[in-house]
């Protein structure tokens, strides 16, 4: 996260000068307006105020033009005090401005006309005349127990002479350009910078993401492909196979990202179920068995022949098979959302510019894949040319592929089954490394090393099994239950679950302290990182104890989960949103992706003050 901030700071140096010299734009571009029915009786109006522009608080006005429709008192976020050269001391709004307006309309009404008045200025010294826009807002009945449904699209209605019109907005209206959080700043990069700088920046983001846990499982996958070629694979062949894998991954990131930006839903989230993950895990088990040479022991000859042929293709016999593995790995292995990915999706959703957004995601995936190519070529250098060592290397990578299979399936199977799987994998690996066999008196150094490693793996597997029997469900700390009880469970119990937009609004309305809303999913690696390494930090936990903690578990990815994500322009977990004691979102404090305890503690301090 610190690396992302430093990178963004460097980019800001390039953006600041051009922005300051830019000419003023039309009011429709300076203060784009959109709206949606947040619930059955509340319309949300959103001004995406351009950088270096602002709106006057006291110039905002709202009126219903349709008979039978009445508006309540608008909820306008607090602005900032400003000494204006035109109006003196006043209150203004910058960045994203969300206004909630209560609406009462007849039950049989399908839409109504809403008049919105505003006035703003440019920091360069130009003040725009008062502006009136008329929107036709499509009403929609509430569902899911009262209001858990976002509004339909808006269409502009003709305004009176001299008035501008509001552009039509999709149901999912994203204010990427005005968002103050990290993903919003990255989205703003796409709109403000030159294409060359955008692509260079996203390649750098990809390099940083290559060292996150979501990408690590791809290392044994690609290495297994290279090893499956045997000792005769050349450096050139290893490089071609690695490049094919990375290109398959990059094309998938770009295509899936464009689809997510335009639809508001991550395809990878829909694939996180027992059938898809189980099928993909079986593929890795079969690849591992082929490295162990066990096919003939478990399957009929006809099926063995077909499976062996398929497996050999997947291991690297054909570039198409390798590309397929890259595609599947991109979709299934790494579904977590990080700030650069979220920023690109926000930009695509807001502008509909799938070309630049898709290109940025493609280049980001290439950055993520650059270390993988180095690993793939380096794997070839480690392969012995002849002798029994090659079989040992293949078996080692077979164990790694079994570990990937277990890691993939762990989010959708019971925690106890996951613990048992790791215990068996570690224990049997230790046994096969001769942990239980006597060591000859004059054994060489390497033999002693491998026996020592086998003993360590056997001990780790035994600890995993003992922890499982004692009630632990944490593979990283299997024996912690014997020492400290269920400390992690106590921390989890502090969160209150919310399952719909209506339920969230009810909890926010009754809050008497700052609120933290955490978006979580069982299949989200970064979410579990936040719980294990960030939320458990004593200093962070103390700050969080002074807040109302809400958790939206979107593991199921159902309609209610999608509505909650869409309410905050999120495409998937992890995501953390903060609210003040009055239930209004605190702008600029969102956290997307994993953040370490230190920086997260600073975010909490800002939310509490």
- Comparing C-alpha atoms, which of 124, 127, 126 is closest to residue 20? 124
Check whether 174 has a pLDDT greater than 60: no
Residue 377 lies in a domain: yes
Answer for the pair 259, 331: CB distance below 8 angstroms, yes or no: no
How many angstroms separate the CA atoms of 67 and 437, rounded?
88
Residue 23 lies in a domain: no
Q: What is the dihedral of CA 246, 247, 248, 249, to 10 degrees?
A: 50
Tokens of 328: 């599947």
Residues 199 and 328 occupy one common structural domain:
yes
Residues 250 and 381 occupy one common structural domain:
yes
- Which residue among 397, 413, 429 closes a domain? 413
Residues 120 and 87 occupy one common structural domain:
yes
How many angstroms separate the CA atoms of 97 and 579, rounded?
15
Tell me, what's the pLDDT at 230? 59
Residues 291 and 399 occupy one common structural domain:
yes
The mean-pLDDT minimum among 6-20, 125-139, 268-282, 520-534 falls in 6-20
Residues 104 and 192 occupy one common structural domain:
no
Residues 257 and 306 occupy one common structural domain:
yes
The mean-pLDDT minimum among 290-304, 423-437, 565-579 falls in 290-304
Check whether 154 has a pLDDT greater than 50: no
Please report the sign of the dihedral spanned by the C-alpha atoms of residue 268, residue 270, residue 272, residue 278: negative
DSSP, collapsed to helix, strand or coil, labels residue 307 as: helix
Q: What is the mean pLDDT of residues 512-540?
A: 88
Instruction: Return the CATH number at 564.
Output: 3.40.30.10
Percent of the chain with pLDDT over 90: 16
Highest mean pLDDT among 142-146, 163-167, 382-386, 392-396: 392-396
Domain extent, residue 283, equals 183-413
Highest mean pLDDT among 262-276, 384-398, 445-459: 445-459
- Which residue among 413, 441, 475 closes a domain? 413
Residues 159 and 238 occupy one common structural domain:
no
Residue 428 lies in a domain: no
Cα 569 to its chain centre, rounded Å, is: 12
Check whether 429 has a pLDDT greater than 60: yes
Name the band, by pLDDT with cuts 50, 70 and 90, for residue 576. very high
Q: How far is CA 287 from CA 208, 255, 404, in A?
A: 29, 27, 11
Tokens of 230: 């045997």
- Which residue among 151, 173, 195 closes a domain? 173
* β partners of residue 71: 103
Give the phi and the psi of residue 162 in degrees, each rounded to 5. 85, -5
How many angstroms separate the CA atoms of 349 and 265, rounded?
11
- If one compares 315 and 406, the residue with the highest pLDDT of the two is 406
DSSP label of 338: -
Tokens of 339: 């700030």
Give the phi and the psi of residue 589 in degrees, each rounded to 5. -110, 10
Tell me, what's the pLDDT at 552? 94
Check whether 356 has a pLDDT greater than 80: yes
Q: What is the mean pLDDT of residues 219-231?
A: 71
- If one compares 220 and 131, the residue with the highest pLDDT of the two is 131
Residue 418 lies in a domain: no
Residue 60 lies in a domain: yes
Q: What is the dihedral of CA 287, 293, 297, 302, to 10 degrees?
A: 70
| Tokens 């230790």, residue located | 430
How many angstroms separate the CA atoms of 154 and 111, rounded?
9
pTM for the predicted model, two decimal places: 0.58
Check whether 260 has a pLDDT greater than 50: yes
Residue 445 lies in a domain: no
Angle of the 2-21 helix axis to the 182-192 helix axis, nearest 10: 40
User: SS3 string of 191-209?
Assistant: HHCCHHHHHHHHHHHHHHH
Residue 13 lies in a domain: no
Check whether 388 has a pLDDT greater than 90: no
Tell me, what's the pLDDT at 313? 47
Residues 514 and 591 occupy one common structural domain:
yes
- If one compares 48 and 297, the residue with the highest pLDDT of the two is 48
Answer for the pair 48, 71: CB distance below 8 angstroms, yes or no: no
Tell me, what's the pLDDT at 336? 64
Neighbours of 477 (CB within 10 A): 16
Neighbours of 236 (CB within 10 A): 10
Residues 350 and 224 occupy one common structural domain:
yes
Residues 291 and 187 occupy one common structural domain:
yes
Residues 547 and 516 occupy one common structural domain:
yes
Residues 159 and 216 occupy one common structural domain:
no
Which residues fall within 8 angstroms of residue 33, CB to CB, at 6 or more apart? 45, 46, 47, 48, 116, 118, 133, 135, 166, 167
- If one compares 365 and 260, the residue with the highest pLDDT of the two is 365
> How would DSSP label each residue in 38-61?
EETTEEEEEEEPPTTEEEEGGG-E
The domain total for the chain is 3
- Comparing C-alpha atoms, which of 173, 180, 183, 254 is closest to residue 569? 173
Please report the sign of the dihedral spanned by the C-alpha atoms of residue 533, residue 530, residue 245, residue 397: positive
Residue 158 lies in a domain: yes
Cβ-in-10-Å burial (0-12, 13-18, 19+) of 396 comes to: middle
Which residues fall within 8 angstroms of residue 397, CB to CB, at 6 or more apart? 220, 223, 224, 227, 291
Neighbours of 67 (CB within 10 A): 8
- If one compares 338 and 500, the residue with the highest pLDDT of the two is 500
How many angstroms separate the CA atoms of 134 and 147, rounded?
24
Q: Residues, the chain, total?
A: 609
Tell me, what's the pLDDT at 423? 92
How many angstroms separate the CA atoms of 508 and 581, rounded?
8
Instruction: Return the CATH number at 42.
Output: 2.60.40.1250
């Amino acid at each position: 996260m610190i690396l992302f901030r430093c990178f963004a700071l460097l980019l800001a140096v390039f953006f600041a000068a051009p922005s300051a010299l830019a000419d003023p734009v039309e009011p429709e571009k300076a203060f784009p307006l959109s709206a949606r029915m947040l619930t059955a009786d509340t319309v949300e109006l959103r001004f995406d105020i351009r950088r270096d522009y602002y709106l006057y608080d006291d110039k905002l006005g709202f009126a219903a033009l349709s008979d039978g429709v009445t508006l309540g008192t608008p909820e306008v976020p607090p602005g900032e005090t400003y000494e204006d050269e035109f109006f003196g001391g006043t209150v203004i709004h910058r960045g994203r401005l969300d206004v909630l307006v209560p609406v009462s309309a007849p039950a049989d009404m399908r839409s109504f006309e809403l008049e919105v008045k505003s006035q703003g200025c440019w920091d360069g010294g130009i003040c725009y005349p008062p502006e009136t826009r008329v929107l036709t807002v499509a009403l929609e009945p509430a569902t899911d127990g009262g209001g858990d449904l976002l509004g339909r699209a808006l269409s502009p209605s003709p305004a009176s002479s001299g008035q501008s019109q509001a552009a039509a907005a999709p149901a999912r209206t994203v204010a990427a350009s005005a968002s103050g959080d990290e993903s919003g700043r990255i989205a703003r990069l796409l709109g403000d910078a030159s294409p060359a700088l955008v692509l260079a920046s996203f390649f750098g983001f990809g390099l940083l993401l290559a060292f996150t846990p979501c990408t690590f499982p791809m290392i044994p996958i690609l290495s297994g492909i290279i090893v499956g070629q045997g000792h005769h694979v050349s450096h050139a062949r290893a490089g071609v196979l690695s490049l094919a894998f990375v290109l398959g991954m990059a094309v998938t990131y770009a295509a899936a990202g464009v689809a997510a930006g335009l639809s508001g839903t991550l395809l990878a989230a829909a694939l996180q179920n027992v059938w898809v993950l189980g099928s993909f895990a079986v593929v890795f088990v079969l690849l591992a068995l082929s490295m162990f040479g066990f096919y003939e022991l478990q399957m009929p000859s006809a099926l063995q022949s077909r499976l062996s042929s398929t497996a050999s293709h997947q291991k690297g016999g054909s570039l198409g098979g390798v590309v397929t593995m890259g595609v599947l790995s991109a979709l299934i292995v790494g579904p977590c959302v990080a700030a650069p990915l979220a920023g690109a999706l926000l930009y695509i959703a807001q502008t509909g510019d799938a070309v630049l957004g898709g290109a940025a995601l493609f280049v980001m995936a290439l950055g993520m894949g650059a270390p993988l190519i180095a690993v793939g070529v380096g794997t070839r250098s480690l392969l012995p040319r002849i002798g029994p060592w090659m079989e040992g290397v293949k078996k080692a990578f077979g164990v790694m592929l079994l570990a990937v299979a277990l890691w993939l399936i762990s989010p959708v199977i019971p925690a106890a089954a996951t613990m048992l799987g790791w215990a068996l994998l570690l224990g049997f690996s230790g046994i096969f490394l001769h942990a239980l066999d006597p060591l000859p008196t004059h054994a060489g150094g390497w033999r002693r090393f491998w026996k020592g490693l086998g003993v360590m793996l056997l001990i780790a597997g035994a600890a995993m099994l003992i922890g499982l029997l004692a009630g632990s469900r944490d593979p990283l700390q299997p024996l912690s239950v014997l020492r400290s009880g269920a400390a992690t469970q106590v921390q989890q119990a502090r969160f209150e679950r919310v399952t719909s937009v209506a339920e969230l609004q009810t909890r926010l309305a009754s809050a008497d302290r700052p609120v933290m809303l955490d978006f979580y999913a069982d299949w989200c690696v970064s979410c579990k990182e936040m719980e294990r390494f960030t939320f458990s930090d004593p200093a962070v936990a103390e700050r969080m104890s002074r807040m109302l903690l809400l958790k939206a578990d979107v593991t199921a990815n159902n309609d209610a989960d999608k509505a909650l994500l869409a309410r905050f322009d999120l495409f998937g977990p992890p995501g953390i949103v903060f609210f003040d004691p009055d239930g209004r979102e605190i702008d600029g404090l969102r956290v997307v992706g994993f953040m370490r305890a230190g920086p997260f503690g600073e975010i909490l301090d800002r939310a509490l003050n």
